[in-house]
């Protein structure tokens, strides 16, 4: 079916109002992502991740949009004994995490107050093709590795994350859009792999993906980072039929191939994918 691409900032309320008019569903992937940036500029992070998300959600309400899917982050949950669960009491450790928690709360409030089937997906650490511009660890390390530059580990490298391939996240989003309203309205879903990977293991895996061991430098641990993180995805499996299919090794290999091609051909790096990677 025909589609229209509109490029405009979420701060442009008139553009947002026009873009959402007549649509059935909105997937909110736009964000100011990353913990270090939020530590440096908490008010800027609030403006983009909270105020602009609320503006989009309210535009959806006024336009009669049926479904609203918000891309949140495990940073909203903060430091918990893993695996992270939707029932955990949130303890965000960074302004970025707090901003994502606020977005989740507004989705729940709009579902309860206005009847819009709004929900939040807490993405684990996303990676994949079309992310050459990203500051997340996989993107940053692949850029460095393919340019024969060292990668930086903050702390001892034994901190853990749940790395989820963008194609799996896209499947989760589609499943959320296709689910019945009463299965998702006001709900929160952890969307990851359920597999815990240390940063040291990630270094080794990226080395395999690019065909050589990486040169490593060490710096102090960063403020706002959690020690361990991995998602329990049982609720998403039960309600949405979601389970991650792509292994870390396979996902990194595919991502490394795309990064290598994009670094060789800058025009490729500017291609807009059908489904963008998520947050972080």
Q: Which of 183-192, 215-224, 266-275 has the highest mean pLDDT?
A: 183-192
Strands 216-219 and 151-154: parallel
- Mean pLDDT (the chain) is 93
State yes or no: pLDDT of 34 exceeds 90: no
Over residues 102-124, the pLDDT tens digits come to: 999 999 999 999 999 999 999 99
Nearest C-alpha neighbor of 248 from the set 215, 189, 201: 201
Q: Determine phi and psi for 15, rounding to 5 degrees.
A: -65, -40
Residues in CB range of 271: below 8 A, 6 or more apart:
130
Q: Angle 270-161-149 (CA atoms, 0-180°, nearest 5)? A: 50
CATH of 13-269, one of 3.30.450.40, 1.10.110.30, 3.90.220.20, 3.40.50.720: 3.40.50.720
Mean pLDDT of 11-16: 96
Which tokens belong to 199? 């940063």
Enumerate the domain spans of the chain. Answer: 13-269
The DSSP output letter for 89 is P
Mean pLDDT of 182-203: 97
Over residues 52-94, the pLDDT tens digits come to: 999 999 999 999 999 999 999 999 999 888 999 999 999 999 9
Active site residues: 96
């Amino acid at each position: 079916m025909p589609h229209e691409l509109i490029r405009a900032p979420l701060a442009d309320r008139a553009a947002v109002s026009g873009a959402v008019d007549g649509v059935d569903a909105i997937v909110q992937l736009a964000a100011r992502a990353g913990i270090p940036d939020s530590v440096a500029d908490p008010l800027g992070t609030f403006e983009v991740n909270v105020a602009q998300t609320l503006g989009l959600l309210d535009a959806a309400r006024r336009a009669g949009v049926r479904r609203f899917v918000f891309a949140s982050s495990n940073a909203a949950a903060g430091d918990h004994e893993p695996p992270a669960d939707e029932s955990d009491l949130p303890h965000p450790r960074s302004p970025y995490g707090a901003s994502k928690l606020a977005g989740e709360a507004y989705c729940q409030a709009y579902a309860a107050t206005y009847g819009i089937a709004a929900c939040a997906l807490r993405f684990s650490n996303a990676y994949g093709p079309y992310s050459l511009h990203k500051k997340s660890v996989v993107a940053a390390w692949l850029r460095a590795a393919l340019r024969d530059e060292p990668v930086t580990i903050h702390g001892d490298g034994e901190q853990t994350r749940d790395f989820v391939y963008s194609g799996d996240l896209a499947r989760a989003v589609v499943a959320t859009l296709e689910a019945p309203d009463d299965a998702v309205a006001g709900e929160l879903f952890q969307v990851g792999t359920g597999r815990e990977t240390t940063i040291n293991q990630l270094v080794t895996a990226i080395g395999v993906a690019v065909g050589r061991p990486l040169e490593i430098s060490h710096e102090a641990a960063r403020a706002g980072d959690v020690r361990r993180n991995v998602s329990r995805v049982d609720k998403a499996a039960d309600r949405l039929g979601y389970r991650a299919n792509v292994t870390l090794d396979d996902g990194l290999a595919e991502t490394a191939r795309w990064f290598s091609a994009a670094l060789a051909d800058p025009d490729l790096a500017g291609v807009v994918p059908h489904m963008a990677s998520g947050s972080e």
